[in-house]
Amino acid sequence: MNNQEFDSNLYRILARNLPDMAVFMFDHSMRYLVAEGAVVATLGMIPEKLEGRIIHEVAPSEIVEVIVPHYIAALKGVEGQFTIEFNHRVYNVKVVPIRNHLDEISAAMSVVQDITEQTKIENDLRDSQKRYRALFEQFNDAVFIINPDGRFLKVNQKAATMLGYGIDELVGVEIQQIIAPAEHDESQSLLAAFKVGQVSPVYERTLIKKDGAKIITEVNITLMVDDSGDLLHIQAVVRDITQRKQAETALRMSEERHRIISELISDFAYSVAVGVDGSMEYEWVTFDPLIRLTGFTVEELEEKTKWDIYHPDDRLKLAEDRQKLLKGEAVTGEYRIFTKNGDVIWIHAYRRPIWDEKQNRVVRFHAVSQDITNRKITEEAHRKSEERFRLVAQVTSDALYDLDLVTKTIWRNEGYQKLFGFPHTTTQELSWWTDGIHPDDRIDVLESGYKAIDGDSQTWEREYRFKDYEGKYIDIVDKRYIMRSETGTALRIIGAISDITQRKQAERQALELNIEREKVRLLSEFITALSHDFRTPLTIITTSIHLLRKSTDPEYQADQFEKLQQQVAHIEKLVDGIVTMSRLDHDIEVNLQQTDLNELIIYADIHKQKDYKAKELSVTFQLDRRLPRIQVNQEWMYRSFLNLLENAILYTPDGGAITIETCGREDMFIFEITDTGIGISQESLQYIFDPLYRAEKHRPTGGQGLGLTIAKRVIDKHGGRIEVESAMGQGSTFRICLPMHRES
């Protein structure tokens, strides 16, 4: 048997053993060589009548049109597969070429499989899936498909919309991300129970929407398992019940409020039916508040007539009001009623009639009564308080006012007329008070007043000058009490203004007297110090002149002349210092120039080289040459630097050291001169800038006592300050601080 015959027999055996298949082999002329298999019969054909015949002779034309192109392709070496329907059956056909031992295509074969039942099952499955998808998407509730790990596999559009997400945003998200944190533990416990097959009844869960809002939901769970009972996924049907829960909560709260109100409030309501004859009968009454209010029991109230509990003085008004009510008018009234123990309380009643058009009369009225006893007591107390306030306002000499910050209106008593001399007290404009404050006091008074109102202060007090009716300023003290709401907002200001002109005049006179006394004291001390500073050199001069007259020794005379010259120079310096002090009392800024202060310091240093050498002093400079030029009066600034340098030289022992440093700090030019001198006591530090002051006990002589005073006045004139740090036996540091940029 050749290969082809062997293959044919092999295919016949294969086809006979496959119940839903058939095998057809054909050559290049489309002649069937083999036709075998159970499916051949379902095609309505007999295998024996097919073999040896061409396809066009045995197959219907509609079949030929479909399969011939695939047959031709297979004979050309191209495999193919297609589906065909015939006699209400569905077949899957696969066509392949057959090659001989020379690898030539000698024939082709088609394998036909009846897939009718499989196709039906697949179609039914697709239909089922379509119906499920439609149900899944169109379901009125949110549906979540969740894997055993707690992540969303799939959600419907309702679920996405309910949570404010897109569908794609939710897929893969862990369920815990949308559950309120307080319910995470409970959710994890439920998920663990689902994994072992435990099904929970319908439960509620709080979910978090994308925008952070919370919704309350009702969850119904279905577990989807495989044939082994293992959990595949969880199907959760979720319904938003937020509105229902809110309605339930609102209803519960409403019922609770009604219960609480009925138990707590003093108001009582009732409805009265009105007969044709005008008779009245209670339809219903909220007895609890009425019983608490009056102390009567229900039975005791029912036994009384409609007038018994009302005060006799109010019964006529009550009768008039009821007549208005019967005419269809709504009536409001205040009446006194008796309690069981005989006390009198006030009630405020509002009654609304119900008019029947058919009967043309009032058939009933509804009413609410409120206990207003406390209000009446408060009103009476307020009336008495107002009366007392009115009397106080009339007799006091102070100016009283009441400013309503809400309505921006103000009340003033007659004290304003007495205090400020106004012909009337009807001035209401707030600008009148603002304009009356002295310009020098206005900013402080207004700012502090507004600050007190905007803050939480209860009181405010200021002394300031105010213009009276004649345009003259008087001194006053203004005291205020600020009334606030529960939230702290200022509502009213109650104030009183007193005239303190005489007291302020007395204080000013006392101050002026003290100033004059201080001037006299300072002048006396200055004259004393000055006379001392002049007396010493004059005494030496007088003595030297006396000795010169008696001596004929040229060398001795020369020595006395030297002393005379020294004392004359001392007096000249002293006079020069006094003149300088006088000049400094005038404006020195007329000669301001852009100046390199480091250069002035160097000039002063050059001027004192001889003095350094005389005392063998070591002088160190640490000057910051990057500092900018500053506008100063060069003459006076040089004088202040020179004075500080002379002071350091004078009070530094022989062989000592002086350090001079400049730097910039916080927009200030800093000049520091430090010595290793004898130092200054803490007691003397407060006086060292006073004119002619010298701590004679521990400081050497030689200075005039004006150098530091002049230096300080120069620095003050330039808007700066001078500081000193010193300790006894450890030296001193004098520091000048000058602004680098001065306002023009």
The class (CATH top level) of 587-739 is: alpha beta
Mean pLDDT of the chain: 80
Q: pLDDT digits over 696-727, tens only?
A: 444 444 444 577 888 888 888 888 999 999 98
**Sign of the four-CA dihedral 507, 510, 516, 517:** negative
Q: Which helix (H) or strand (E) holds 663?
A: strand 657-665
DSSP secondary structure string, 28-93?
Answer: TT-BEEEEESTHHHHTT--HHHHTTSBHHHHS-HHHHHHHHHHHHHHHTT--EEEEEEETTEEEEE
- Highest-confidence segment of 59-63, 291-295, 735-739: 735-739
Predicted structure pTM score: 0.32
CATH fit for domain 3-121, picks 1.10.10.10, 3.30.450.20, 3.40.50.720, 1.20.120.80: 3.30.450.20
Structure tokens at 342: 């005989």
- Within 241-325, strands assigned E span 268-274, 280-285
Contact 73, 50 (CB under 8 A): no
Residue 618 pLDDT: 92
Cα(127)–Cα(609) distance, rounded to whole angstroms? 116
Task: Give dist(CA 376, CA 370) in Å, integer.
Answer: 12
| Residue bearing tokens 């057959």 | 98
Please give the backbone phi and psi of residue 269, each rounded to the nearest 5 degrees, phi first.
-115, 155
The answer for residues whose C-beta is within 8 angstroms of residue 294's C-beta and 6 or more apart is 301, 309, 337, 338, 339, 340, 345
Question: Is 265-377 CATH 3.30.450.20?
Answer: yes
At 75, is the pLDDT very low, low, confident or very high (cuts 50, 70, 90)? very high
CA-closest candidate to residue 739, choices 583, 585, 592, 590: 592
**Which DSSP symbol is given to 492?**
E
**Residue in the block written with tokens 């002349």:** 561
Q: Could you tell me the fold of the domain covering 396-499?
A: Beta-Lactamase (3.30.450)
The pLDDT value given to residue 260? 54
The phi, psi pair for 583, rounded to 5°, reads -65, -35
CA distance 210 to 177: 10
Q: Is the separation of the CB atoms in 329 and 353 below 8 Å?
A: yes
Tokens of 490: 């200022």
Q: Could you report the per-residue pLDDT of 568-589, keeping only the tens digit for each?
A: 666 666 555 555 655 565 555 5
Same fold, 3-121 and 396-499: yes
Q: What's the first-to-final CA gap in the chain, in angstroms? A: 127
Task: Report, as an integer, the average pLDDT of 83-100.
Answer: 88
User: Percentage of the chain with pLDDT > 70?
Assistant: 81
Position 87 scores a pLDDT of: 79
Split at pLDDT 50, 70, 90, the class of 685 is: confident
Segment 151-165, tens digit of pLDDT: 988 888 888 888 899
Q: Which residues contact 729 (CB under 8 A, 6 or more apart)?
A: 678, 679
**What distance in Å separates the CA atoms of residue 724 and residue 744, rounded to the nearest whole number?**
29
Q: Which residues pair with 101 in a beta bridge?
A: none
- Domain spans, the chain: 3-121, 139-246, 265-377, 396-499, 506-565, 587-739
Compute the average pLDDT of residues 593-612: 89
pLDDT for residue 426: 45
Query: Considering the domain 139-246 in this protein, what is its CATH number?
Result: 3.30.450.20
For 266-318, the pLDDT digits (tens) are 577 878 899 888 888 878 777 677 777 788 876 787 777 767 888 999 999 98
